[in-house]
Structure 1
Amino acid sequence: MSTQRNWAGNIRYSARAYHRPSSVDELRALVAGSDRIRAVGSGHSFNRLGDTTGDLVTLAGLPATAHLDEQRRTVDVPAATRYGDLAAWLHERGYALANLASLPHISVAGAVATGTHGSGVTVGNLATAVAGLELVTGTGDLRTVDRSSPDFPGLVVSLGALGIVTRLTLDVLPTFDIRQYVRLDLPRAALDEALGSAYSVSVFTDWRSTRGTQVWRKQLADQPPPPADWLGTTAADRPWHPVPGMPTANCTEQLGVAGPWHERLPHFRLGFTPSSGDELQSEYHLPRAVAADALAALDEVAHLIAPVSQTSELRTIAADQLWLSPQYDRDTLAVHFTWIADPDRVLPVVAEVERALAPFAPRPHWGKVFTLAPDRIAATYPRWTDFAALLHHHDPTGKFHTNDLTNLFPR
């Protein structure tokens, strides 16, 4: 990411100035003296929710020291830390995070603020590991909160709207090994069983048929491999990439070779280009209970999706109690779209996807492309008005607001 554009290159930032403070005190002074300010992480957002016409600040220049508390089984990390770097550091010390997203390149604070996730029917999104936060408020004060704070569930997935998070405390567990198997040609009828069959499972489809083109099955290393006839699929005999035609060297190791959790749970290797690198993305979070009906509705517009889709991924995430989490109070099926990098062709299809999913209360991923009206999004979140009140309390002058945030939460 440059200071001018996001990672995908589809957003040119509107900021009047870019800042890289080297200390928290410098950041506090910057925040206190600005009328509009936002933090930017690794730039893996595909929309303008974090764009500002004021000051844009990266936290990559702050001290990068992490602190492991083995007694409490937590790690305290700087906000700009990339998950891939943190994961390797933890593994060296015998610890792990419960899950990782498909890209290890993303920053911890940015992923948490947008409810970014991995996959697994028993595992929550990345924000559910947060045990505490340190943030700079609009007055430049430094505030620390943890799970004992009554407003903590509203502060974690916050869209960057409540202050600039400087450090996060995350739960850790003992390190573990994973084996990754790719299976091909999954029948739709077996989808739910497949998604619940291992620690983390992703099903890819091209929308040209109702079958899953690839199943990425990430299982604990001490579990037996899937049988040869598993759910009517065939075993891959070579490495695969989720996007057809992309180099498989970019992907984490497959074919059942055991390895550390952080080298298998992501789809992509830290030192390589993730996904296709030239794309737009959308994702919608639906109650897992309506998965079959929702996918049937998408089948009706599959002829529109397929020509502008590079791949599509289906994943599950466990329910949580974080107010703006897309998994709030419901076990979730996430339907992800990796589009071609052509907004003029993609956006009309995004609108058709949203129309098809409307009966199923879709919640869009906060960091991806969507066109849903604010009132339709708000209707799917039971704690929406509570977050709006928290937002007004923490940022009465709108210092951390952006145009898109104001559309969601009018001042």
Structure 2
Amino acid sequence: MTPMTPLTPPPPLTNWAGNITFSAARVHHPTSVSAVQTLVSSHRRVGVLGTGHSFNSGADTSGELLRLDRLPRLVEVDRARRTVRVSAGTTFAELGPRLQEHGLALRNLGSLPHISVAGACATATHGSGDDNPVIAAGVSAVDLVTAEGDLLSLDRTAPDFAGVVVSLGALGVVTGLTLDLVPAYDVQQYVYTDVPWQTVAAGFTDITASAYSVSVFTDWRERTQIWVKHRMGTEAPDLDWTGGVLADEPVHPVDGHCAANCTPQLAIPGPWHLRLPHFRAEFTPSTGNELQSEYFVRREDTGRALTALRALRGTMAPVLQVSEIRTVAADEGWLSPAWQRPATALHFTWVRDPGAVAPVVARIEEALAPLDARPHWGKVFSTPPRALAATYGRMEDFCALRKRLDPRGTFGNEFTDRHLPEG
């Protein structure tokens, strides 16, 4: 008699970083929008997980977890209106080449093309550029499955639309989105290394205004890089005045990591979707072994924020891999960290040690508290909910919208219930 092979339970589901283990009872991969509607209407608690690139428990649930990666892929381009309708699970790596085929583009992209469109919009993911808002600002319509299993199609004519797009998954299951497009464009990317910190601090406004998208990478000491993404057809910037060295070979923002993982540099022209992200879709993004935090401050408070953080460089050093400083245009999304204020976003890539990172995050939040810093919803943060709510003038409106669309709290979890008080 042949002995039976013992069944091995599947490994626990974690986020990309491995610092969050999801507690869902079951994981579902619906293959149609109608299947999503059935799953939602027949369960008390439901959550949605995108590509897992968040660093907190915002996507967790005590009930049923849905992954939309098996929904039929939809990339429906309307060239006359310059819009595209996409299925929620579509990644930017999939979307970019399809838009390029039609001679169209998104206005901006985040640093990782690996993430899903719906997940990026729900958490207000962004790229860089003084005039470039978060990706969610370009969403003109949303298909949303509500707690009763109904499918709502909402667009900018809806009175509460500004509260729907950046929703942290708390209003329902987004199954599709329509995004604004612009004509396709080419970008050159090049990097200045060894930029003196004092030049960055004193000339930050001129640095970020010099190109379509600019990122400053720093360890808050003296190792500082400026990544320039110059949109072809505009005047090319010259940042030699910064005292930095124009790199003559590709570089990675973190010392010791392979630059082959990064998108092409050395001013080699290429389409927008292959230059605006920092990392190539076919490689592990960033360092792959990390935690992340990010805080948005008013653009006019940048100098104060840089001074406060520079003073913490010794505290950060043992757990910091690199920081990235970017600018983001204001938008009207109720829960967008750039809501009604042009922002500077201060990003931290940490080592993957939650216990060691937590007290450093607390010190940073204490230093930035006088500036009403808003954390990125998808990163590691510990800002008290009361303080966080006070920085958003439409928080009460969002919570009232949540109560109306999800009165039983179907899409709630410990994270949203803590950070989104009752309206």
Q: Does the pair score TM above 0.5? A: yes
Are 1:152 and 2:165 counterparts?
no
The residue aligned with 2:350 is 339
- How far the C-alpha of 1:307 sits from its partner, in A, is 1.6
Q: Percent identity?
A: 52
- How far the C-alpha of 1:224 sits from its partner, in A, is 4.8
- 1:183, 1:108 → 2: CA distance? 31
Aligned partner of residue 194 in structure 2, secondary structure: strand
Residues 6-405 of structure 1 correspond to what in structure 2 (within 5 A)?
6-186=15-195, 187=199, 188-209=201-222, 213-227=224-238, 229-405=240-416
The residue aligned with 2:6 is none
Q: Deviations over 1:344-379 (max 9, x none)?
A: 111000000000101100000000000110001001
In the comparison of the two structures, how many residue pairs are matched? 408
The residue aligned with 2:7 is none
Q: Normalization by structure 2: what TM-score?
A: 0.95
Aligned partner of residue 296 in structure 1, secondary structure: helix
- 1:65, 1:45 → 2: CA distance? 24
Contact map agreement 2:162 2:333 (CA 8 A) in 1 = yes
Q: Normalization by structure 1: what TM-score?
A: 0.97
Aligned-CA RMSD value: 1.2
Residue identity matched to 1:372? T
- How far the C-alpha of 1:335 sits from its partner, in A, is 0.2
- 1:136, 1:227 → 2: CA distance? 49
Contact map agreement 1:51 1:402 (CA 8 A) in 2 = yes
Q: Deviations over 1:318-358 (max 9, x none)?
A: 00011000000000000000000011111000000000101
Aligned partner of residue 192 in structure 1, secondary structure: helix
- How far the C-alpha of 1:207 sits from its partner, in A, is 1.5
Contact map agreement 1:124 1:317 (CA 8 A) in 2 = yes
Aligned partner of residue 214 in structure 1, secondary structure: strand
Aligned partner of residue 307 in structure 1, secondary structure: coil
Contact map agreement 1:208 1:306 (CA 8 A) in 2 = no
- 1:347, 1:72 → 2: CA distance? 46
- How far the C-alpha of 1:70 sits from its partner, in A, is 1.0
Aligned partner of residue 58 in structure 2, secondary structure: coil
- 1:303, 1:176 → 2: CA distance? 42
Residue identity matched to 1:386? D
Return closer, same or farther for 1:227/1:142 CA change in 2, 3 Å cut-off. closer
- 1:251, 1:105 → 2: CA distance? 13
Q: For structure 2, list consecutive stretches of 5 or more residues without a partner in the other structure.
A: 1-10
- 1:184, 1:300 → 2: CA distance? 22
- 1:205, 1:340 → 2: CA distance? 15
Residue identity matched to 2:313? A
- 1:228, 1:280 → 2: CA distance? 31
- How far the C-alpha of 1:216 sits from its partner, in A, is 0.5
